[in-house]
Amino acid sequence: GRVRLELLLSKMQSEEASFTENNFEAMREPLTAAARLNVVSAMEILGNALRKRDPKASFAWLSTAAAAGRAHAMSEVGLRYSNGAGVERDLVKAAQWFTQAHDAGDVSAGTLLAECYLYGKGVNKNESKAIGLLQDAAAAKDARAMDQLGNCYHKGIGVAQDDAAAFRQYHAAAQLNYLDSVGNLGVLYLTSDQTDLGKNEAARTQKALSLFR
């Protein structure tokens, strides 16, 4: 029965409309009961739904889910330590949780860990390691990693400056509707001739305006 409940709640997690402000309160008690029976999806749902209304309870449920081996929950715990949400801010613990989540197979955690190494947050700064993590996450279609990798190529951080490579990364992330990359792509059209429009400044300007809109 617990396995069937886990499957049902996992399915509901994937459907964004399943838990609204109104219906969560009606479901909070049975979700809590399920979480206390070690249904990990219930723990994650509570952790996400209580993010704003009860940050400490949210952190506690996510920590329990992480301890049960859920990789995405590990990444979320790392984010809470990074942001000081529901727990005292601790960048070292954040990096440790991102590492654990990454090792457990969470792609987005690789991007978050890369940013720790890129800026020296909770770990010793290591641009080379950061680039490797970003490349792996970008290859796994993580849009945030693509955008961050594009920034590194555009600014020459950890890699040789290469606007053509930056364009490829921004474009790929923009195709996934990652809005930061849509804006960054617009900036690149305005400032560089290493896009698909080359040295045609008029066309590049119109493209940039379209992206900014």
Q: Which value, to the nearest 10 degrees, does the dihedral of the CA atoms of residues 55, 58, 60, 64 take?
A: -160
For 109-118, how does the pLDDT look when each residue is reduced to its tens digit (9 = 90+)?
999 999 999 9
The overall average pLDDT reported for the chain is 93
Stretch 38-54: mean pLDDT: 91
pLDDT attached to residue 184:
98
Q: Is 198 exposed, middle or buried (0-12, 13-18, 19+ CB in 10 A)?
A: exposed
Whole-number Å distance between alpha carbons of 104 and 98: 10
**Of residues 25 and 185, more confidently modeled:** 185
Q: What is the pLDDT of residues 108-147, one digit of tens each?
A: 999 999 999 999 999 999 999 999 999 999 999 999 999 9
Predicted pLDDT of residue 19: 66
Residue written as token pair 């045609």? 200
pLDDT digits (tens, 9 = 90+) for 83-104: 999 999 999 999 999 999 999 9
Residue 16 has a pLDDT of 59
Q: Look at residue 138 in the predicted model and tell me its pLDDT.
A: 97
d(CA 46, CA 40): 10
Model confidence at 192: pLDDT above 90: yes
Q: What is the pLDDT of residues 143-168, one digit of tens each?
A: 999 999 999 999 999 999 999 999 99
